[in-house]
């Protein structure tokens, strides 16, 4: 009977509780009367505390914690209620969990910590860093929180907390590689990383440099910043592809023009003997091929 009642409680909380505060009260009051219900899990292994964090229910969460809910309970993916609070963006929930002893550096089954998940939320990042979150924690892919950060405020906070500006992920890529390839709102991040001493010519496990990433995704502002910081315009990856090849292959005309103005070698050939103009034509971009061949 208790098991059946517990499953019903989870169903009540998980099933549309956002519009039904009476259901929330039913669940929390029942858990306060019978603390054993706090250990009930749903099909994903989530406890009531996970679900309260999922739904940004800060006041009910406080009551569950006072009733004895386990703040470091793990779901089937190894995630804790703190992971859930970070994902939902509930800073009040995260504060309560940390105050109750939540492990700030708890890693899930693929090595992801709450800080990895927080990096697009400046308030949450600051909260976790203040609680001594480890900016050098790596997930299974070797990624640091800095690799995942896309906002300058967060990048700055991570660097200030000691994140290695040229830290490599499992493929040898730095945060600058990742930022350089983002054409949307990334130029301030690229400038920030370069200003912090990031290596504009860092090479990943495939020979790729940040300038090639900027060329691939037509991120002209990023390419301009990298060139100004000393990026080698004619560096080639393990396939012999230069940044100009990458721009040609992906139809990145603005970047191609920028590279040519910076002295890109239009006659450079990849391991298959193709010039950038050849590659542009091969990819169905004859106009860009002509620009490269004739500029």
Are 200 and 150 within one domain?
A: no
Are 117 and 82 within one domain?
A: no
For residue 259, pLDDT beyond 80: yes
Domain count, the chain: 3
Q: Is 35 domain-assigned?
A: yes
Are 176 and 250 within one domain?
A: yes
Q: Is 169 domain-assigned?
A: yes
Are 117 and 70 within one domain?
A: no
Q: Residue 248 has what pLDDT?
A: 98
pLDDT digits (tens, 9 = 90+) for 185-237: 667 999 999 999 999 999 999 999 999 999 999 999 999 999 999 999 999 99
Q: Residue 23 has what pLDDT?
A: 77
Are 159 and 170 within one domain?
A: no
Are 187 and 93 within one domain?
A: no
Do 215 and 251 contact (CB within 8 A), yes or no?
no
Are 152 and 37 within one domain?
A: no
Q: Residue 28 has what pLDDT?
A: 87
Between 84 and 14, the higher pLDDT residue? 84
Cα–Cα distance for residue pair 194/287, rounded to 1 Å: 34
Cα–Cα distance for residue pair 259/249, rounded to 1 Å: 14
pTM of the model: 0.90
Number of H helices, E strands in the chain: 18, 0
Q: Is 61 domain-assigned?
A: yes
Q: What angle do helix axes 2-14 and 21-33 make, rounded to 10 degrees?
A: 150
49 is written with which tokens?
């505390």
Q: What is the DSSP letter of 174?
A: -
Q: What angle do helix axes 152-160 and 187-195 make, rounded to 10 degrees?
A: 20
Q: In 3-state terms, the chain is what percent helix, strand and coil (to 5)?
A: 55, 0, 45
> Residue 190 contacts by C-beta under 8 Å, 6 or more apart in sequence?
176, 179, 180, 210, 221, 222, 225, 226
For residue 4, pLDDT beyond 70: no
Q: Is 96 domain-assigned?
A: yes
Are 158 and 169 within one domain?
A: no
Cα–Cα distance for residue pair 173/100, rounded to 1 Å: 37
Percent of the chain with pLDDT over 70: 93
Q: Is 127 domain-assigned?
A: no
pLDDT average, residue stretch 155-174: 97
Are 73 and 83 within one domain?
A: yes
Percent of the chain with pLDDT over 90: 82
Expressed as residue numbers, the domain containing 190 is: 165-295
Q: Is 220 domain-assigned?
A: yes
Are 173 and 287 within one domain?
A: yes
Are 159 and 174 within one domain?
A: no
Are 80 and 199 within one domain?
A: no
């Amino acid at each position: 009977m208790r098991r059946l009642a517990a499953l019903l409680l989870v169903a009540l909380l998980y099933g549309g509780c956002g519009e039904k505060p009476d259901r929330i009260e039913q669940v929390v009051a029942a858990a306060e009367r019978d603390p054993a219900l706090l250990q009930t899990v749903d099909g994903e292994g989530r406890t009531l505390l996970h679900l309260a964090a999922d739904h940004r229910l800060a006041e009910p969460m406080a009551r569950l914690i006072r009733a004895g809910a386990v703040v470091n309970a793990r779901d089937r993916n190894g995630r804790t209620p703190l992971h859930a609070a970070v994902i939902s963006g509930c800073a009040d929930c995260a504060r309560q969990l940390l105050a109750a002893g939540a492990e700030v550096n708890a890693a899930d089954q693929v090595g992801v910590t709450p800080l990895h998940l927080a990096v697009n939320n400046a308030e949450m990042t600051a909260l976790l860093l203040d609680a001594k979150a480890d900016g050098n924690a790596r997930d299974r892919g070797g990624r640091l929180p800095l690799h995942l950060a896309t906002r300058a405020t967060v990048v700055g906070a991570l660097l200030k907390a000691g994140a290695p500006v040229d830290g490599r992920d499992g493929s040898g890529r730095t945060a600058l590689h990742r930022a350089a390839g983002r054409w949307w709102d990334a130029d301030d991040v690229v400038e920030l990383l370069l200003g912090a001493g990031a290596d504009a010519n860092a090479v990943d496990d495939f020979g790729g440099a940040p300038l090639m990433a900027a060329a691939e995704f037509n991120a002209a502002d990023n390419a301009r910043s990298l060139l100004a910081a000393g990026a080698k315009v004619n560096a080639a990856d393990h396939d012999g592809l230069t940044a100009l090849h990458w721009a040609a292959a992906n139809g990145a005309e603005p970047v191609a023009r920028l590279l040519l103005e910076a002295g890109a070698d239009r006659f450079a050939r990849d391991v298959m003997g193709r010039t950038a103009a050849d590659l542009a034509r091969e990819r169905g971009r004859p106009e860009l091929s002509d620009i490269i061949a004739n500029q």
